[in-house]
Amino acid sequence: MKAIAVVGAQWGDEGKGKVVDYLAGSFDYSARYGGGHNAGHTVIIDGHRFVLQLIPCGILRPGKKAIIGAGVVVDPAALVAEVDNIAKGGVDVNGRLFLSNRAHLIFPFHRELEKSAEAARGPHRIGTTSRGIGPAYEDKMARCGLRVCDLMDMERFERKLERVIEEKDALSRSCYAKGLDTAGILETYRELGGRIRGFVADTSAVVNRALGEGKSILFEGAQGTMLDIDHGTYPYVTSSSAIAGGACTGLGVAPTKVTGVIGVTKAYTTRVGGGPFPTEMPDLDAQAVRDRGKEYGAVTGRPRRCGWLDLMMLRYAVQINGIDSLVVTKLDVFDTQKDIQVCVGYKYNGSKLNEMPAEVEVLAEVTPEYRTLPGWQQQTDHIRAAADLPKAASDYLKFISDSLGAEIGMISTGPERDATIVPPGTKLASWL
């Protein structure tokens, strides 16, 4: 039995899509357990670029199966658009995609309410992806959400929607002085329900049956540890459990079934949206990394904030997720870098911090302690064996691995599937 979680160790966009696509060739299933179409996972195969938001990247591997679990919030319009979009790229999901009947639905009013909430926050806005993710999770927790199973019975759906709409309509009238188009929503969702019906399943049963039969599953994390609702830089986080533990709750699979955890980090750090970022680079340096790393949001196109690698944060991510093996992506972005800084710890009010602070106000004020390591100033994107990496690049990776007490099981030196190095003898190599 092989059940491995792949999680973002930073603030998302670590390259999880590329990593899952690479690994998925060795697994029967890939499964998303949280978030929604706020995620944007890029996979480049033979020059063709796919950006997957809801469907696990394993779907791009012929014959492999993909699951969207109960912990995911689903905008059916986004799902249908994604199915149609990847079909254009020659990928047929029929018979291979399973959508949880327990997953909560996102409605147009969730997006509207999010827009007004963000506007009201002014300079303290979270900088969300405006997909209605937060409000949909709010309704789920408030126990007034509608789920995929409801959409499968239009009579029930209409009854439940009417109850919810009454409240949302009052909110909408006070925020926008306009009511909701209940009939329009019903009509649109009736049609969308028909389009997704063929995918709907009890996905917890699918996962557990598969594991019982000795099949292998890759849990595809969305977002990243520092965006986790409980353990991230609250309130500048997303509204779901992005950490490895989220795979259990989001898919209905027991912790005893998870056999390993892979944490993905870039060779540096990025963040989209608001919130503290201790190792953020000054504008000019950040722009250079942004240009080389093409650091613009896969979903929103927003420029990503760029900074140095933060080992204080990664140590926290290793602990919270129980990371067995690290993947370092985008090493090639540093190919022209003369000196590389790495944050090894934080100081606050002159004292060294031993734990990641809970308060964003403190995190915004910490002074990162840096070590400077030499760059390699050589191209690495063609390298396929760890032994062929320039010495300074190997030293950089060893410094990361030693500082965190975790192996580096994979190194990515380019966006394409084959720009990947898997050193032999690691735990990660044994899972392939």
What are the catalytic residues?
13, 41
Residue pair 369/361 in contact by the 8 Å Cβ criterion: no
HSE toward the beta carbon, residue 247, CA cutoff 13 A? 32
Q: Choose among 307, 329, 318: nearest CA to 397.
A: 329
Give residue for tokens 């300074």.
392
Selected range binding Mg ion among 36-44, 86-94, 149-157, 380-388, rule: CB under 5 A: 36-44
- 23-42 residues in contact with ligand IMO (CB under 6 A) are 38-41
Q: How many CB atoms lie within 10 A of CB 135?
A: 24
Q: Name which of Mg ion, ligand IMO, ligand GDP, none residue 278 binds, using a CB cut-off of 5 to 8 Å depending on partner kind.
A: none
Q: Name which of ligand GDP, ligand IMO, Mg ion, none residue 126 binds, using a CB cut-off of 5 to 8 Å depending on partner kind.
A: ligand IMO
Shortest Å, Cβ 256 to ligand GDP: 27
Residue closer to ligand IMO by CB (options 39, 161) is 39
Residue closer to ligand IMO by CB (options 43, 207) is 43
CA distances from 225 to 188, 198, 246, 280, 379 (A): 35, 33, 11, 17, 30
Among 30, 100, 129, 380, contact with ligand IMO (rule: CB under 6 A): 129
- 137-176 residues in contact with ligand GDP (CB under 6 A) are none
Shortest Å, Cβ 183 to ligand IMO: 28
Task: Report if residue 333 touches ligand GDP, rule: CB under 6 A.
Answer: yes
- Residue 114, SS3 per DSSP: helix
- 201-230 residues in contact with ligand IMO (CB under 6 A) are 222-224, 227
Among 64, 147, 271, 330, contact with ligand GDP (rule: CB under 6 A): 330
Shortest Å, Cβ 298 to Mg ion: 5
Joined together, the tokens standing for residue 136 give 């949909």
Shortest Å, Cβ 418 to ligand GDP: 11
Q: Cα 390 to chain center, whole Å?
A: 30
Residue closer to ligand GDP by CB (options 41, 96) is 41
Shortest Å, Cβ 39 to Mg ion: 6
Helix axes 154-176, 108-121, angle to 10 degrees: 30
Joined together, the tokens standing for residue 352 give 């060294």
- 254-293 residues in contact with ligand IMO (CB under 6 A) are 272-273
User: Would you give the binding string for Mg ion spanning residues 11-30, x where CB under 5 A is met?
Assistant: --x-----------------
Give residue for tokens 């998870």.
258
Give residue for tokens 């209940």.
182
What 8-state DSSP symbol labels residue 123? Answer: G
Residues 6+ apart with CB under 8 A from 398: none
CA distance 26 to 215: 11
Give residue for tokens 């063609």.
382
Selected range binding ligand IMO among 56-64, 126-134, 162-170, 407-415, rule: CB under 6 A: 126-134
Joined together, the tokens standing for residue 251 give 């898919």
Shortest Å, Cβ 292 to ligand GDP: 8
Q: Choose among 178, 187, 194: nearest CA to 109.
A: 178
CA distance 318 to 323: 5
- 42-71 residues in contact with ligand GDP (CB under 6 A) are 42, 44
- 280-309 residues in contact with Mg ion (CB under 5 A) are 298
Within 28-153, where are the H helices? 76-88, 108-121, 133-141, 148-151
Selected range binding ligand GDP among 14-22, 192-200, 317-325, 348-356, rule: CB under 6 A: 14-22
Residues 6+ apart with CB under 8 A from 385: 421
Task: Report if residue 40 touches Mg ion, rule: CB under 5 A.
Answer: yes
Residue pair 63/90 in contact by the 8 Å Cβ criterion: no
User: Would you give the binding string for ligand GDP spanning residues 293-322, x where CB under 6 A is met?
Assistant: xx---x------------------------
Among 412, 421, 422, 431, contact with ligand GDP (rule: CB under 6 A): 412
CA distance 58 to 79: 16
Shortest Å, Cβ 39 to ligand GDP: 6
Residue closer to ligand IMO by CB (options 2, 111) is 111
Helix axes 154-176, 182-196, angle to 10 degrees: 140
Catalog residues that contact ligand IMO under the rule CB under 6 A.
Answer: 8, 11-13, 38-41, 126-129, 131, 133-134, 222-224, 227, 238-239, 272-273
Catalog residues that contact ligand GDP under the rule CB under 6 A.
Answer: 8, 12-18, 40-42, 44, 293-294, 298, 329-330, 332-333, 412-415
